[in-house]
Amino acid sequence: MTSDSARLGILLMCATSFVFAAQDGISRHLAGEYNTILIVMIRYWFLATFVLALSARRSGGVRQAIHSKMPLLQIFRGVLLVAEMCVTIYAFTLLGLTESHAIFVCYPLIIAALSGPVLNESVGWRRWSAICIGAVGVLIILRPGSGMFSPLAIVPLIGAGLFAFYGILTRYVARADSAHVSFFYTGTVGCIVITCVGVFYWEPISERDWFWMLLLCCTGALAHWLLIKTYEVAEASTVQPFAYLQLPFAAAFGLIFFDEVLRLNVAVGAAIVVGAGLFTFWRERRRY
């Protein structure tokens, strides 16, 4: 990989993080007016269309994309991601973008902790130390035992756990299936599952909010496209640390557009979690 490719990959990951944060901001806005399941369902309709169009353009088309050596695990991955989206967007309405993202950002540490027992990967004492330090950061954000602790803070933590498990399964199925196959199942299975549930939660959408729905879907497709392009030009170990920029981007949207307040314990705890996460990425890179 050349230095130019690395720089381009970093720029693309920064753009990806910004678009994902913007998507979360739009989701937060819409979730204040409509139920979470409806929002996720419409997002998945657009995502599934994007995935099918992408698959149709590739060699072998949809027939090749649907051929998985681990179909049950791929289906389970799709269900997990739907559940994670619903939980996380719901968390935005409870805690806002800033605090939800500050807690959710611990998911790489959960992945690191699970990679040993689930994937049989070696997790040394340095990475375990980083995981424990990250856990301390999460506790600083949550402040259990204090009068300021809110049980609602558990919601984004559940979302982080679901996304971490999804990430672990994604790495596991990658041993047998290509990224193209995994992406196909992510979009199509999720669309089927959320539609089966979401039709019972349909509610009228105003003309103004259809614009925001469309913008939400477009940002989702753009973010996934940028992510694909990022990994095409640069190694994951080079660009992945810059995915943490989604936290300050989301916090900025929360502060500017939703009048959220960044509490000191949230800022300190998030900094500790991000630092621990960056250390685990560094250790992962040194292994290879």
- CA distances to 143, 231, 267 from 9, rounded to whole Å, are 37, 7, 28
Write phi, then psi, for 206 (nearest 5 degrees).
-70, 160
Q: Is 60 left (phi over 0), alpha (psi -120 to 50) or beta?
A: left
Higher pLDDT, 287 or 172: 172
Other beta carbons within 10 Å of 62:
15
Instruction: Tell me the percentage of the chain whose pLDDT exceeds 70.
Output: 92
Angle subtended by helix axes 207-233 and 3-31, to nearest 10: 160
CA separation for the pair 177, 75 (Å, rounded): 13
Average model confidence (pLDDT) across the chain: 86
Q: Which of 220, 229, 270, 234 is nearest to 24 (CA)?
A: 220
Element housing 251 (H / E): helix 246-257
CA separation for the pair 280, 288 (Å, rounded): 13
Over residues 197-216, the pLDDT tens digits come to 999 999 999 999 999 999 99
Domain count within the chain: 1
Q: What is the pTM of this model?
A: 0.87
Q: Which domain holds residue 89?
A: 3-287
Over residues 106-160, the pLDDT tens digits come to 888 888 788 777 777 666 777 778 778 888 888 888 776 544 557 888 999 999 9
The predicted structure's pLDDT at residue 149: 58
Two structure tokens written together for 159: 């979302």
The predicted structure's pLDDT at residue 18: 95
CA separation for the pair 108, 167 (Å, rounded): 9
| DSSP per residue, 118-184 | HH-----HHHHHHHHHHHHHHHHHH-TTSTT--GGGHHHHHHHHHHHHHHHHHHHHTTTS-HHHHHH
CA separation for the pair 251, 160 (Å, rounded): 17
258 half-sphere exposure, CB direction, 13 A CA radius: 26
